[in-house]
Structure 1
């Protein structure tokens, strides 16, 4: 077994354990706390799942590093080094989780030398396990998946999110993009989870996704899953994707990605 095989086997088992926690807690009363604002939520389950993942991985791979949503100090700059680094969102879609909406997931990606090697997004409520390893394709519940190959914005179903910020400038840009895109696209959708939105693009159920203000842990796994499904992930202005920029655009094709990027009103949040 190669090192990467071992990493994958261990993380997959831990993600399934984490999924069992989410499945058990989603319809129970929750201890809810706020972070940056009153819609940026965290629960005891977010913290429990992140601890489960970090403790489980560090006990097996002592030299690995971690970037986790709940263990990263608010406002502190995240450092991504060349060391094997797990980037973790223990519950992406916490607002959905709090309300009992079943679009919520564990999202975890492994980067080595800053190159994505493993991506897993698991929605345990709907039993959707999205997985990818570099160069080996993308899968939903072990069945191969592929992007839609849509090239035209006018025929595209686009995923987007409002985000968890009430910053007036950010909200203004979100609403302007809704106004700009609505007449140009086939439809707009939001699941409340960037990771699941990206997986819908990988699955071919949607054709593109963009968001401003997300974090590395929202997109690290989805980035690899989309690309291994034949899609593209870039910066929303059209350049290369930077996981720390808090900006993402993914699409089924390069043509669609560039057309969508040209249509967007841009917003540049503070970097991670």
Structure 2
């Protein structure tokens, strides 16, 4: 592969900004939304248009690129080689916020090569914040994010949408998770896993966790968190694109809390990944 990971992420970042410009122009205007599997899981024409824009850019970023998008699925028929880029694209992570006029959503593009998550970008079009990760480093609007080692004043801030809207009745695991987080942390529900992960990487939050997520929701954020020294667990690993899974990610100062949340989500199923 002739393009470096940084080169590929630069292309992805520009496509995210271009898609974000389209999304920002349409925010607050008339739109038609249709539901997918659940009433809160919606798609708009803007999702579709943004993904098509991103696909066009990524398809030309490198030979044999495979794009896996939330709205269009996988678009590449050939066998994926060990050095072939695989892109995980969510054109609007937080579509329900977008539809309701809540300015908290983002474009998320993760990059996987040889089965490993090697980079990604998350772009918040309303705040014009571009989070990128490549080669083990992460940046916010071009300024490198530091590796955090010290814990802020307690309690830790956790971004978590569990229990999920429209999900099954609470289980022993979700009850345990809720009790754990209530006892140990200050919890916020924001409605975008990708931005939650970016905020952990940037030091705005200390832990993010969700069930009911797909690979394109977290691939970019995973790269951001691990590039800033944090930890990430998912079940399964990598997360699927045809059914939902669970993840937890934490800042470097909170490995114990992160693993405890992982065990509460799926006892005996989580294994640490990088």
TM-score, normalised to structure 1, is 0.84
Which of 160-169 and 103-112 deviates more? 160-169
Deviation sequence 1:201-244 (CA, Å, 0-9, x none): 101111111111100000000000011111111137xxx95333
Gaps of at least 5 residues in structure 1 are 74-78
C-alpha distance in 2, partners of 1:170/1:216? 23
For the 8 Å contact 1:121–1:221, the answer to whether it is kept is yes
3-state SS, counterpart of residue 202 of structure 1:
helix
What is the alpha-carbon distance in structure 1 between the residues aligned to residue 132 and residue 92 of structure 2?
16
1:227 is matched with: 226
Deviation of 1:174 (Å): 4.5
Counterpart of 2:197? 198
Task: Please give the alpha-carbon distance, in whole angstroms, between the structure 2 residues aligned to 1:46 and 1:170.
Answer: 31
Partner in structure 2 of residue 242 of structure 1: 238
Counterpart in the other structure of 1:90: 91
Q: Work out the CA distance in 2 between the residues paired with 1:200 and 1:44.
A: 27
Give the C-alpha shift of residue 88 in structure 1. 0.2
Where does residue 46 of structure 2 map in the other structure? 45
Q: Given the superposition, is the C-alpha separation of residues 160 and 169 from structure 1 closer, same or farther in structure 2, using an over 3 Å criterion?
A: same
Aligned-partner Cα distance in 2 for 1:42–1:208 = 28
Q: Give me the TM-score of the superposition, normalised by structure 2.
A: 0.83
Secondary structure of the corresponding residue to residue 155 of structure 1 = coil
2:131 equivalent in structure 1:
130
The count of aligned residue pairs is 256
Q: 1:230 to 1:174 in 2, by over 3 A?
A: same
Deviation at 1:16, TM superposition (A): 1.3
Give the direction of change, closer, same or farther, for the CA distance of 1:256–1:209 in structure 2 (3 Å limit). same
Name the CA shift for 1:177/1:256 in 2 (closer, same or farther; >3 Å): closer
Q: Unpaired runs of 5+ in structure 2?
A: 269-274
Distance 1:173 1:40, change over 3 A: farther
Distance 2:163 2:27 in 1: 21
Contact 1:147 1:226 in 2 (8 A): no
